[in-house]
Structure 1
Amino acid sequence: MASKEDKTVNTNEVRPISNIEYVGLTLLALTLIALFVKPEIIGGSFNAMLTKAVEPVVKTYLTGTLGTAIILSVMTGRILERLGFTDALIRVFTPLAKLMKITPLIIVPAIYNILGDINAAGRITGPSLKKAGATKDEQKIAIATMFQSQQSFSTFMLGLVAFAKAGIWAFPVVIIGIFLPVIVVPFVLSKTIYRNVKYKDISEMPRFTPTTPIVPTIFNGAREGAELMFLLLIPAVVVVFAIIGLLEYIGVWAPIESAMSAFLNLLSIDPATGMQSILVAPTLAMNTLVETIQTIPTRFAIGSFILAASGLPLQVPLAQIPAVWSESSDLSTGEALQASLVGLVIRVFSAFALAWIITPMV
């Protein structure tokens, strides 16, 4: 029979305090001081966050038209995808890529992103690039190019609604602002930043037309639109507007907003929709543009649309793209982040340049 060993516990040994515990103790002390000196600060800050966030969520997404527009737009995109629209785009752009000595697979993520979403584009096309032996520079070009098209089809559809309302001819905006960068951006990057490219004439391209029956495609598309709204867009709106509400309560948001507005004005981008695209969601920005397009210059409306038709908001290049591509490609998280930031810079300044170029045409 095994004898029990007496285990003595040293009660005098104290676990060292970690850094995060120091943060917690500091917060506890500040909370107690605030409750003693000015208790309304805590309630006031929470109320400011709630008040700022509740209006766009309830009035814009839930009881307004934006929620329904998102569901319809995603459903429309999935129907077009089922009818071969994405594969048709690849058929059109592949010869152009070959003509410019660009490996066709590099542009596939950007093309798929026009109707799909930016996360699926990475998960589906990243392994294809890896399998084809694409260099790291080519995979970075694919990410930067993918950033040049909208990460939700609802952004595109609401932009068209806004242009129709203002009587702006959308054709040159779509061709030059969305389709042209799919070819121009990889060509420019292959000659400048990412020059380790090896042209491969790939005959077997991945197919993106699903085989799902048409009725399930419609309902699955509607469900995907609802998931996009409730699981991604509304949480993002709550987070960002709550932070803005807190910063307003503290009194530091006004100079930040003023600086961003001045920068966007300089780039011929409407400040209101531009900040929504960057911080919250391009879909919300285009919904705002539908309401305000008749009160702003045409150049600013075009610049706002081109900026929104990108991989924004900031959480996408800073978090989502690096996470997805580090798993599905040869790139590390840092390399994918670098490529997405390159795409962001290109999109911001191309919005400025293309707004000036396109405005006389419309």
Structure 2
Amino acid sequence: MAVKEKEVLGTRKMERIEYVGLTVLGLSLAVLFFRPGVIGGIFDAMVNKTVPVIVKVYLTGTLGCAIILSVMTGRILERLGFTDALVRLYIPLARWIKITPLVIVPAIYNILGDINAAGRITAPYLKKVGATKDEQKIAVATMCQGNQSFSTLMLGILAFATGGIWAFPVIFIGLFLPVILVPLLLKVTLYRNVSFKDISDMPRFTPSTPIVPTIFNGAREGAELLFLLLIPAAAVIFAIMGALDYIGIWKPIENALTGFLGALSIDPQTGIQSILVSPTLAMNTLVQTIKNIPPRFAIGSFIIAASGFPLQIPLAQIPAVWSQNSDLTAQEALEAAVVGIIIRIISAFILAMIITPLVV
């Protein structure tokens, strides 16, 4: 038996990943021999880039508490019928454009701050009431028009108050209006196989949890969001940025993103944070910097933050969750999410131009 096992191991075909591993091993040994300080320098750069954000912003700053309290607030609003109320208001328009009102429910859950719940809870309902694949794609793309953390909305409102910007037009036009108009836009362009379904076919989305457990569960959910998702995500991205900065690659990438976002009337600093790290962190930064940037850039920054970003959400989370809970494949969910964030980037530029004269 031992001889046979040895023969099998000796003749096993090399996989591609093993060649990659050997290459990495060879490069590591070469670096250790010729420039051993590089590996330590990269790690030190990763730590120095990550620690100030994780410790001073999330843990000992106000952002951590803001996240916990905002998620709790979102769950209270949900318990008070916020989701069902918005669905009721949307029914007349849904009947007119001949689409199921359920397509906006994932977006409402997203605004309340849980993109995973948006998929896990609402996708099966869409499937249950017979929503077509096109309607489910519209639901995904529309979901990307709202903030994936309620703390983003709360900190955005705080930033506008700090900067003396009237928040109501920004929130109404920049957040709620796209949730209504994007299904119509997609229905007449990309996803046309839709049909209206009456409210009697749809479930209620207001939970029956007593108010006290709702409050404490919301706070616990906020803590889970902070420690299990946002802090690890921020640590990964800032560590990568630190490593790239050490070897001289990050600066050209940052300059390209800065030019692109500036051309779209989006504050580059907070825009990069929204796209790569965390919209919540971006809005926390905006609270501190809003007095030093043009109002148009601040509004564009909020709109891009109130979206399906950062990138790991449309590229990973949405395909994973929706492929498990809807009729969509991971590829179809990914495509719909990309459509949604492209619409959001374009609308950030257009809406910032429209809203700015109304609020300053």
- Pairing 1:279–2:276 present: yes
- Pairing 1:259–2:241 present: no
Shift of 1:113: 2.0
1:112 aligned to 109, 115, 119, which one?
109
Percent identical residues: 71
Indicate the residue corresponding to 1:33 in structure 2.
Answer: 30
Indicate the residue corresponding to 2:294 in structure 1.
Answer: 297
Indicate the residue corresponding to 1:3 in structure 2.
Answer: none
Q: AA paired with 1:283?
A: T
Q: AA paired with 2:227?
A: F
Q: AA paired with 1:261?
A: T
Unaligned segments of structure 1, at least 5 residues: 1-5
1:9 aligned to 4, 10, 29, which one?
4
Q: AA paired with 2:163?
A: A
Unaligned segments of structure 2, at least 5 residues: none
**When the two structures are superposed, what TM-score results if normalisation uses the length of structure 1?**
0.96
Counterpart contact for 1:321–1:337, Cα < 8 Å: yes
Give the Cα–Cα distance (whole angstroms) in 2 for the partners of residues 97 and 280 of structure 1. Answer: 35
Which aligned segments of 4 or more residues in structure 1 are displaced greater than 4 angstroms? 10-13
1:311 aligned to 297, 301, 308, which one?
308
Give the Cα–Cα distance (whole angstroms) in 2 for the partners of residues 179 and 239 of structure 1. Answer: 32
Counterpart contact for 1:97–1:183, Cα < 8 Å: no
Give the Cα–Cα distance (whole angstroms) in 2 for the partners of residues 341 and 265 of structure 1. Answer: 21
Indicate the residue corresponding to 2:335 in structure 1.
Answer: 338
The answer to which structure has the higher helix fraction is: 2
**1:1-362 equivalence runs, <5 A:** 8-9=3-4, 11=6, 14=10, 15-362=12-359
Task: Report the structure number with the largest CA radius of gyration.
Answer: 1
Give the Cα–Cα distance (whole angstroms) in 2 for the partners of residues 350 and 7 of structure 1. Answer: 66
Shift of 1:47: 0.5
Q: AA paired with 2:221?
A: E
Moved more, 107-116 or 75-84: 107-116
User: Could you give the per-residue CA deviations for residues 166-218 of structure 1, whole angstroms, max 9, x where no partner exists?
Assistant: 11111111111111111110001100111122233342322221111111111
Counterpart contact for 1:299–1:356, Cα < 8 Å: yes
Give the Cα–Cα distance (whole angstroms) in 2 for the partners of residues 161 and 11 of structure 1. Answer: 67
Give the Cα–Cα distance (whole angstroms) in 1 for the partners of residues 25 and 105 of structure 2. Answer: 52
Give the Cα–Cα distance (whole angstroms) in 2 for the partners of residues 7 and 162 of structure 1. Answer: 69
Give the Cα–Cα distance (whole angstroms) in 1 for the partners of residues 257 and 32 of structure 2. Answer: 35
Give the Cα–Cα distance (whole angstroms) in 2 for the partners of residues 51 and 231 of structure 1. Answer: 21
Secondary structure of 1:9's match? Answer: helix
Give the Cα–Cα distance (whole angstroms) in 2 for the partners of residues 67 and 165 of structure 1. Answer: 20
Counterpart contact for 1:277–1:312, Cα < 8 Å: yes
Cα RMSD of the aligned pairs, angstroms, is: 1.4
When residues 108 and 250 of structure 1 are mapped into structure 2, their CA distance, relative to the original with a 3 A threshold, is same
Counterpart contact for 1:109–1:125, Cα < 8 Å: yes
